With several copies, the nearest count.
Chain A
Amino acid sequence: MPTTLSRAVNEALHHALATDPSVLVMGQDVGGLGGVFRVTDGLQKDFGPDRVIDTPIAEAGIVGTAIGLAMRGYRPVCEIQFDGFVYPAFNQITSQLAKIHARSGGRITVPVVVRIPVSGGIGAVEHHSESNEAYFAHTAGLRVVAAATPQDAHWMLRQAIASDDPVIFFEPKCRYWSRGEVAADADLPLDAARTVRPGSDLTLLTWGSMVETCLAAARAAEEEGHDLEVVDLRSLSPVDVDALTAAVARTGRAVVVHEAPTFGGLGGEIAATLAERCFDRLEAPVLRVGGFDVPYPAARLESHYRPDLDRVLDAVDRSLAY
């Protein structure tokens, strides 16, 4: 039975809570309400308010106390209500969560997972549609991942919770209601990229909310006789560079697609790396399709802001025509 991405996350949390008494779920409204996206629905009923904790509205507090709990041996899974509300916790994330393992010479580990519903596409008001993965990916000491399917949302979250690393876990909110199978086992480690669709003419590299868009573009291109490969990065830090390089070395053409503003986005890192590693194999420049370099616009403009099938295909055409 295909399940929704939201449900797949819920079941991962349920499993973690059920099998590991040190796991805690904490965040604003995660308890009785089940979170604003109902991702934590029913968890407090099953595990009680001491393990599924409604917190005060204080994001630094959520991450900061989670760090303290982790130091005590707990494995807190924090929810940040929306992407745009993680910034009050930025100090705790960058200077503490990311660095404390190194700062302590490896003596302190803080297995905290910070779940962030991310990106746009749901017609939300301002600050509710940010794609801010680049800030975290650039922060050494964090593991940063983005799930695009129910399978990955479920298994990557279970892997993230089981990992001793601090993990920033992005869930594309516009995909919460999308359905897919969740297998009985993880089929990839947390830090591996996935070839979602093989192809020989050009590689689309993407993650999170844009995976489906790229798949749609690949299907559309197929009708025009182009065989596009789609790679879902999944792990945004560290990036599975070898897999990406191998793919692009094979096709000779690459387009990186993400929803975040293009300038200084993670796409720059990927494109730069591929341009360096595949220098002699590239038949066209690595192109990027991203959000524009403007604050995320009002809801009625988001279809213009977010990369869509046409914009991806436009870049594909430019690359193929090169």
Chain B
Amino acid sequence: METYRLLDPDGTLRDDPAAEHVDAELCRALYRDMVLARRLDSEAYNLQRQGELGLWLQCLGQEAAQVGSIRAIRDDDQVFPSYRDHAAAMCRGITAEALLAQWRGVRQSGWDPAEHHFGIYTLVLAAQLLHAVGYAMGVARDGTDEIVLTYFGDGSSSEGEANEAFNWAATVHAPVLFFCQNNQWAISTPTSAQFGAPLHRRAEGFGLAAQLVDGNDVLAVRAATQRAAEAVRRGEGPALIEATTYRMAGHSTSDDPTRYRSEAELDHWRTLDPIDRLRRLLEREQWTDEAFVADLDAEADALGTEVRRVCRALPDPDPAAMFAHVLPTGSPTVDHQREAYAAYSASFEED
């Protein structure tokens, strides 16, 4: 399968029917999404380095895959993310505070999935794919025309649960769109050690409608996702998009990617940077001007300031939080432990 692309790395638009819908407004909006996401991402990285966050997993380099896809679906289409999908989350209105809380270690998750139609992050690889399929079964039963989109990585596709999800969705014809950000690496493991054939081919084998798209081309991702989403919405069955992208950072702030990949590889991907690419188009088409650049710079700076502020302001949780929400209907065992621990803690204060 050929990789679908609309925008070449040098910023020229290809001759493709989908290119006709590309205009200044769209490109500026997508550009803004990506630039802001990258700013949040780098601020969070710095905050981790300063000890303000326990861990951070960067989405650096994957902004186009995320922004292009989430901007192609409806706001009420439910999304089941993985854990690196900050750009997508931001497009859904999830705040910096909500995004950082989990990585600062003050909560296990940040936002209300119902409010944003965007699930909490899933750290156990591929588990969310089955949730997405189940949710989509519910959507179908309800007879509404939403669809479900779920993000996952190349590495996650090797899990049994991912494949159960592909097969299940194809079998029950669930309105779900699987979106793989193939960023070439799963921690230190390259895709060559992850699968023997490309994922989009596997997806076809399961009976999913599959597309391979240049994941660093936000316009192509958007167009491909739109196409897939509308087919799913029309009831044509589940689909999978494999977006070829690259994890420009380490796996996480705990990782040392120099141990397993070359600077040359990085250099190559730098030339394919999704933000640079769109900027070239903006410039080439003169869809940008000083005001736009200045405004966006200012907005990004303001976001940076905000990220630092909210992060540092995130309060340590009350120990009682640990005992909350174990069972929705409550448990005497847990109640007893909460009370005992409170009494025990109080005994120190008395001392």
State yes or no: do A and B come from one complex.
yes
Q: In the complex, which of the residues B130, B139, B329, B331 contacts A67, with contact meaning CB atoms closer than 8 Å?
A: B130
Taking A61-B158, A88-B160, A127-B123 as contacts, is the C-beta distance between A72 and B134 under 8 angstroms?
yes
With contacts A61-B168, A68-B131, A92-B127 known, is A298 near B106, CB below 8 A? yes
A69 contact from B138, B156, B194, B323, Cβ within 8 A: B138
Interface of chain B residues 242 through 262 with chain A (CB within 8 A) = 254-256, 259-260
Please give me the residue from chain A that is nearest to B57 by CB atom. Answer: A125
Asked if residues B187 and A29 are in contact (CB atoms below 8 Å), the reply is yes
- A84, A126, A295, most chain B CB atoms within 10 A: A126
Number of interface residues of A (CB under 8 A): 81
Verify B333–A293 contact, CB threshold 8 A: yes
Q: Give the residues in chain B near A301, CB-CB below 8 Å.
A: 317, 319, 321-322
Query: Interface 1/0s, chain A 293-307, versus B by CB < 8 A?
Result: 111011111001100
Query: Given A29-B189, A64-B130, A96-B124, are A103 and B138 also a contact pair (CB < 8 Å)?
Result: no
Instruction: Check if A101 sits within 8 Å of B328, measured CB to CB.
Output: yes
Q: Could you tell me the distance between the alpha carbons of A141 and B106 in the complex, rounded to whole angstroms?
A: 20
Task: Please state if A126 and B189 are interface contacts (CB–CB under 8 Å).
Answer: no
Whether B108 lies near A102 (C-beta < 8 A) is yes
B136 at the interface (CB under 8 A from A): yes
- Residues of B92-142 at the interface with A, using a CB-CB cut-off of 8 Å, are 102-109, 112-114, 119-120, 123-125, 127, 129-139, 141-142
Chain A residue numbers with a CB within 8 Å of B1 are none
Interchain CB contact (< 8 A) of A104 among B103, B109, B260, B341:
B109
User: CB-CB < 8 A to A74: which residues of B?
Assistant: 138, 141
Chain B CB within 8 A of A71 CB:
yes
Bound-complex Cα distance A108 to B187 (A): 30
| Those of A15-51 within 8 Å (CB) of chain B | 28-29, 31-34, 36, 50
Q: A151 an interface residue at 8 Å Cβ cutoff?
A: no
Mask of A146-169 contacts with B, CB within 8 angstroms, 1/0: 000000000000000001110000
* Cross-chain contact B326 with A294 (CB below 8 angstroms): yes
Q: How far is the CA of A147 from the CA of B189 in the complex (A)?
A: 28
Instruction: Verify if B161 is at the interface (C-beta below 8 Å from A).
Output: yes
- Residues from chain A with a CB closer than 8 A to the CB of B256 are 33
Q: C-beta contact mask, B177-190 vs A, less than 8 Å → 1, else 0? A: 00000000011110
A104: chain B residues within 8 A (beta carbon): 108-109, 113, 120, 325
Contact: A125 with B333, CB < 8 Å?
no
A65 CB within 8 Å of chain B: yes
The interface residues of chain B lying within 8 Å CB-to-CB of A36 are 187, 254-255
Pairwise interchain contact B131-A293, C-beta atoms closer than 8 A: no
Contact A105-B133, Cβ < 8 Å, known A298-B317, A300-B316 = no
Which residues from B are CB-within-8-Å of A95?
124, 127
B171 — which chain A residues lie within 8 A by C-beta?
Answer: 56
Q: Mark A237-271, 1 if CB is under 8 A from B, else 0.
A: 11101100000000000000000000100000000
The reply to whether the CB of B3 lies closer than 8 angstroms to some CB of chain A is no
| Contact B323–A68 (Cβ < 8 Å) | no
A residues within 8 A CB of B332? Answer: 191, 238, 241-242
In the complex, the chain B residue whose C-beta lies closest to that of A73 is B138
In A85-112, the 8 Å CB interface with B consists of 85, 87-88, 91-92, 95-96, 100-109, 111
- The verdict on B9 contacting chain A, using a C-beta distance below 8 Å, is no
In the complex, A2 has a CB within 8 A of chain B = no
Contact A68 B322 (CB under 8 A): no
Q: Is B12 an interface residue (CB 8 A)?
A: no
Contact flag A57-B103 (CB < 8 Å), given A72-B134, A304-B322? no
Q: Are A165 and B328 in contact (CB under 8 A)?
A: yes
- Nearest CB to that of B130 among chain A residues? A64
- Contact B341 A304, beta carbon cutoff 8 Å: yes
Known: A65-B131, A95-B127; 11 extra A-B contacts, CB below 8 A, are A33-B256, A58-B164, A58-B167, A95-B124, A105-B107, A125-B105, A164-B328, A237-B333, A263-B333, A293-B333, A311-B344
Cross-chain pairs A/B with CB under 8 angstroms, 28 sampled: A50-B141, A54-B193, A57-B158, A58-B160, A61-B130, A64-B133, A64-B164, A67-B130, A71-B119, A74-B141, A85-B124, A88-B161, A91-B124, A91-B161, A106-B324, A106-B325, A107-B113, A109-B328, A124-B55, A125-B55, A127-B124, A128-B123, A164-B328, A238-B331, A241-B332, A294-B326, A298-B108, A301-B321
Counting from the closest, the 6 A-B pairs by CB-CB distance are: A68-B134, A64-B130, A299-B105, A72-B138, A65-B134, A33-B188
